[in-house]
Amino acid sequence: MNGLFVTGTDTGVGKTVVTAALTLALRARGVDAGVVKPVQSGALADDPEGDAALLKRWTGVPESVDEIAPYCFAAPLAPLIAAELEGCAVSLADAAAAVEAVAARHEAVLVEGAGGLLVPAGPGWTIGDLAAELGLPLLVVARAGLGTVNHTALTVLAARQLGLRVAGVVLNGAADDRSRENARMIEELAGVQVLGCTPALEGELTRERLLLLAEEHLDVHAISHETEVSRA
Protein backbone atom coordinates (compact mmCIF):
# COMPACT_ATOMS: atom_id res chain seq x y z
CA MET A 1 0.00 0.00 0.00
CA ASN A 2 1.32 3.45 -0.97
CA GLY A 3 0.26 6.70 0.64
CA LEU A 4 0.24 8.70 3.84
CA PHE A 5 -1.56 8.63 7.16
CA VAL A 6 -2.57 12.16 8.12
CA THR A 7 -2.89 12.70 11.87
CA GLY A 8 -3.24 15.78 14.02
CA THR A 9 -1.94 17.09 17.30
CA ASP A 10 -5.59 17.53 18.28
CA THR A 11 -9.06 17.74 16.79
CA GLY A 12 -9.90 20.74 14.62
CA VAL A 13 -6.34 21.44 13.51
CA GLY A 14 -7.09 21.23 9.78
CA LYS A 15 -6.44 17.59 8.87
CA THR A 16 -9.32 17.50 6.39
CA VAL A 17 -8.20 20.64 4.57
CA VAL A 18 -4.59 19.43 4.33
CA THR A 19 -5.66 15.91 3.29
CA ALA A 20 -7.89 17.27 0.52
CA ALA A 21 -5.26 19.75 -0.68
CA LEU A 22 -2.58 17.05 -0.89
CA THR A 23 -4.92 14.65 -2.65
CA LEU A 24 -5.63 17.30 -5.28
CA ALA A 25 -1.92 18.08 -5.67
CA LEU A 26 -1.08 14.40 -6.18
CA ARG A 27 -3.86 13.96 -8.71
CA ALA A 28 -2.67 17.08 -10.54
CA ARG A 29 0.70 15.32 -10.88
CA GLY A 30 -0.86 12.27 -12.45
CA VAL A 31 -0.99 10.15 -9.30
CA ASP A 32 -4.30 8.32 -8.89
CA ALA A 33 -4.79 9.15 -5.21
CA GLY A 34 -7.74 8.07 -3.11
CA VAL A 35 -8.79 9.27 0.31
CA VAL A 36 -10.28 7.54 3.37
CA LYS A 37 -11.39 8.64 6.82
CA PRO A 38 -12.06 5.19 8.27
CA VAL A 39 -13.51 6.33 11.60
CA GLN A 40 -15.54 9.52 11.97
CA SER A 41 -17.49 10.89 14.91
CA GLY A 42 -19.55 14.04 15.24
CA ALA A 43 -21.18 13.64 11.83
CA LEU A 44 -22.66 10.87 9.72
CA ALA A 45 -21.16 10.15 6.31
CA ASP A 46 -23.84 12.06 4.37
CA ASP A 47 -23.71 15.15 6.58
CA PRO A 48 -22.69 17.87 4.07
CA GLU A 49 -20.49 19.56 6.70
CA GLY A 50 -18.88 16.35 7.92
CA ASP A 51 -15.35 15.38 6.97
CA ALA A 52 -16.39 12.55 4.65
CA ALA A 53 -18.69 14.76 2.59
CA LEU A 54 -16.11 17.55 2.49
CA LEU A 55 -13.41 15.15 1.29
CA LYS A 56 -15.75 13.85 -1.40
CA ARG A 57 -16.77 17.33 -2.55
CA TRP A 58 -13.30 18.83 -2.46
CA THR A 59 -11.34 15.98 -4.06
CA GLY A 60 -13.87 14.53 -6.49
CA VAL A 61 -12.71 10.97 -5.85
CA PRO A 62 -15.01 8.27 -7.26
CA GLU A 63 -15.77 6.62 -3.92
CA SER A 64 -19.07 7.31 -2.16
CA VAL A 65 -19.12 9.06 1.22
CA ASP A 66 -19.86 5.69 2.82
CA GLU A 67 -16.72 4.24 1.29
CA ILE A 68 -14.67 7.28 2.31
CA ALA A 69 -15.93 7.05 5.90
CA PRO A 70 -17.23 3.52 6.52
CA TYR A 71 -17.61 3.90 10.28
CA CYS A 72 -19.44 7.08 11.30
CA PHE A 73 -21.11 8.02 14.57
CA ALA A 74 -23.24 11.04 15.37
CA ALA A 75 -21.97 12.08 18.79
CA PRO A 76 -19.04 14.57 18.83
CA LEU A 77 -17.00 12.34 21.12
CA ALA A 78 -14.04 10.01 20.78
CA PRO A 79 -15.06 7.35 18.23
CA LEU A 80 -14.98 4.56 20.82
CA ILE A 81 -17.46 6.40 23.06
CA ALA A 82 -19.62 7.63 20.17
CA ALA A 83 -19.86 4.06 18.86
CA GLU A 84 -20.75 2.68 22.28
CA LEU A 85 -23.63 5.16 22.51
CA GLU A 86 -25.02 3.58 19.33
CA GLY A 87 -24.42 0.04 20.57
CA CYS A 88 -21.58 -0.50 18.10
CA ALA A 89 -17.92 -1.37 18.20
CA VAL A 90 -15.33 -1.10 15.43
CA SER A 91 -12.49 -3.58 15.30
CA LEU A 92 -8.99 -2.64 14.22
CA ALA A 93 -9.10 -5.35 11.55
CA ASP A 94 -12.33 -3.99 10.06
CA ALA A 95 -11.05 -0.41 9.99
CA ALA A 96 -7.82 -1.51 8.29
CA ALA A 97 -9.76 -3.63 5.78
CA ALA A 98 -11.89 -0.62 4.83
CA VAL A 99 -8.75 1.37 4.05
CA GLU A 100 -7.24 -1.49 2.09
CA ALA A 101 -10.39 -1.80 -0.03
CA VAL A 102 -10.07 1.80 -1.20
CA ALA A 103 -6.29 1.62 -1.53
CA ALA A 104 -6.63 -1.36 -3.88
CA ARG A 105 -8.35 0.91 -6.43
CA HIS A 106 -5.68 3.63 -6.42
CA GLU A 107 -1.95 4.14 -6.76
CA ALA A 108 -1.87 5.86 -3.40
CA VAL A 109 -4.25 6.55 -0.55
CA LEU A 110 -4.33 9.37 1.97
CA VAL A 111 -5.84 8.22 5.25
CA GLU A 112 -7.18 10.87 7.59
CA GLY A 113 -7.26 9.94 11.24
CA ALA A 114 -9.66 11.20 13.89
CA GLY A 115 -8.26 13.72 16.36
CA GLY A 116 -4.78 12.72 17.50
CA LEU A 117 -2.84 9.47 17.61
CA LEU A 118 -3.99 8.36 21.06
CA VAL A 119 -7.70 8.92 20.46
CA PRO A 120 -9.60 5.72 21.41
CA ALA A 121 -11.18 4.43 18.21
CA GLY A 122 -12.40 0.96 19.16
CA PRO A 123 -12.16 -1.55 21.99
CA GLY A 124 -8.47 -1.81 22.87
CA TRP A 125 -7.11 0.26 20.00
CA THR A 126 -6.36 3.87 19.09
CA ILE A 127 -5.91 5.86 15.90
CA GLY A 128 -2.16 5.35 16.31
CA ASP A 129 -2.67 1.59 16.34
CA LEU A 130 -4.51 1.87 13.02
CA ALA A 131 -1.64 3.90 11.55
CA ALA A 132 0.80 1.23 12.72
CA GLU A 133 -1.36 -1.54 11.28
CA LEU A 134 -1.44 0.15 7.87
CA GLY A 135 2.29 0.85 7.90
CA LEU A 136 2.02 4.19 6.09
CA PRO A 137 4.35 7.11 6.77
CA LEU A 138 2.81 9.73 9.05
CA LEU A 139 2.12 13.36 8.24
CA VAL A 140 1.36 15.43 11.35
CA VAL A 141 -0.93 18.45 11.02
CA ALA A 142 -0.54 20.96 13.85
CA ARG A 143 -1.78 24.42 14.72
CA ALA A 144 0.64 27.19 13.88
CA GLY A 145 0.22 29.22 17.07
CA LEU A 146 1.21 29.17 20.71
CA GLY A 147 1.61 25.70 22.21
CA THR A 148 2.24 23.92 18.94
CA VAL A 149 5.89 23.09 19.67
CA ASN A 150 4.98 21.04 22.72
CA HIS A 151 1.94 19.39 21.12
CA THR A 152 3.85 18.51 17.96
CA ALA A 153 6.90 17.15 19.77
CA LEU A 154 4.65 14.96 21.95
CA THR A 155 2.84 13.65 18.88
CA VAL A 156 6.12 12.81 17.14
CA LEU A 157 7.37 11.08 20.29
CA ALA A 158 4.19 9.00 20.54
CA ALA A 159 4.41 8.13 16.86
CA ARG A 160 7.95 6.84 17.19
CA GLN A 161 7.02 4.79 20.24
CA LEU A 162 4.37 3.15 18.06
CA GLY A 163 7.01 2.36 15.45
CA LEU A 164 5.71 4.90 12.95
CA ARG A 165 7.91 6.77 10.50
CA VAL A 166 7.12 10.48 10.63
CA ALA A 167 7.35 11.96 7.15
CA GLY A 168 6.96 15.52 8.36
CA VAL A 169 4.80 18.21 9.90
CA VAL A 170 2.45 20.80 8.44
CA LEU A 171 1.65 23.89 10.50
CA ASN A 172 -1.87 24.93 9.57
CA GLY A 173 -3.57 28.28 10.02
CA ALA A 174 -0.50 30.52 10.23
CA ALA A 175 -1.48 34.13 10.89
CA ASP A 176 1.97 35.76 10.98
CA ASP A 177 5.70 35.11 10.66
CA ARG A 178 5.94 33.58 14.15
CA SER A 179 5.12 30.22 12.58
CA ARG A 180 8.65 30.22 11.14
CA GLU A 181 10.10 30.24 14.64
CA ASN A 182 7.72 27.46 15.68
CA ALA A 183 8.80 25.47 12.62
CA ARG A 184 12.48 25.92 13.50
CA MET A 185 11.96 24.81 17.10
CA ILE A 186 9.89 21.79 16.05
CA GLU A 187 12.61 20.67 13.66
CA GLU A 188 15.29 21.07 16.34
CA LEU A 189 13.34 19.55 19.21
CA ALA A 190 11.50 16.73 17.44
CA GLY A 191 14.04 15.98 14.73
CA VAL A 192 11.44 16.11 11.96
CA GLN A 193 10.96 18.29 8.89
CA VAL A 194 8.26 20.95 8.71
CA LEU A 195 6.99 20.54 5.16
CA GLY A 196 4.67 23.51 5.04
CA CYS A 197 3.02 26.40 6.84
CA THR A 198 -0.47 27.00 5.50
CA PRO A 199 -2.37 30.24 6.12
CA ALA A 200 -5.80 30.50 7.70
CA LEU A 201 -8.44 30.35 4.97
CA GLU A 202 -11.69 32.26 5.06
CA GLY A 203 -14.79 31.93 2.91
CA GLU A 204 -15.86 29.02 0.77
CA LEU A 205 -13.21 26.42 0.05
CA THR A 206 -13.12 25.07 -3.49
CA ARG A 207 -10.93 22.56 -5.29
CA GLU A 208 -9.13 25.42 -6.97
CA ARG A 209 -8.34 27.18 -3.68
CA LEU A 210 -7.20 23.96 -2.03
CA LEU A 211 -4.94 23.01 -4.92
CA LEU A 212 -3.42 26.49 -4.84
CA LEU A 213 -2.92 26.13 -1.08
CA ALA A 214 -0.92 22.96 -1.60
CA GLU A 215 1.14 24.32 -4.47
CA GLU A 216 2.03 27.59 -2.73
CA HIS A 217 2.45 26.52 0.89
CA LEU A 218 3.36 22.82 1.03
CA ASP A 219 6.45 20.97 -0.13
CA VAL A 220 4.39 18.77 -2.42
CA HIS A 221 7.48 17.23 -4.01
CA ALA A 222 8.82 15.99 -0.66
CA ILE A 223 5.40 14.84 0.50
CA SER A 224 4.60 13.06 -2.78
CA HIS A 225 7.96 11.28 -2.54
CA GLU A 226 6.74 9.80 0.73
CA THR A 227 3.82 8.14 -1.09
CA GLU A 228 6.41 6.13 -3.08
CA VAL A 229 4.59 6.83 -6.35
CA SER A 230 5.85 10.34 -7.10
CA ARG A 231 6.14 11.24 -10.77
CA ALA A 232 8.77 13.31 -12.56
| Percentages of the chain per state (helix, strand, coil), in multiples of 5 | 45, 20, 35
Q: Quote the pTM value.
A: 0.95
pLDDT at 113: 97
Give 232's pLDDT tier (boundaries 50, 70, 90): very low
Average pLDDT over residues 212-224: 94
Within 10 angstroms of residue 184's Cβ, the number of other Cβ atoms is: 12
Q: Which tens digits make up the pLDDT trace of 14-62? A: 999 999 999 999 999 999 999 999 999 999 999 999 999 999 999 999 9
Closest by alpha carbon to 6, among 81, 126, 109? 109
- Which backbone phi and psi does 34 adopt, to 5 degrees? -105, 175
CA distances from 53 to 3, 56, 66 (A): 21, 5, 9
Q: Which tens digits make up the pLDDT trace of 91-139? A: 999 999 999 999 999 999 999 999 999 999 999 999 999 999 999 999 9
Which residues does the annotation mark as catalytic? 37
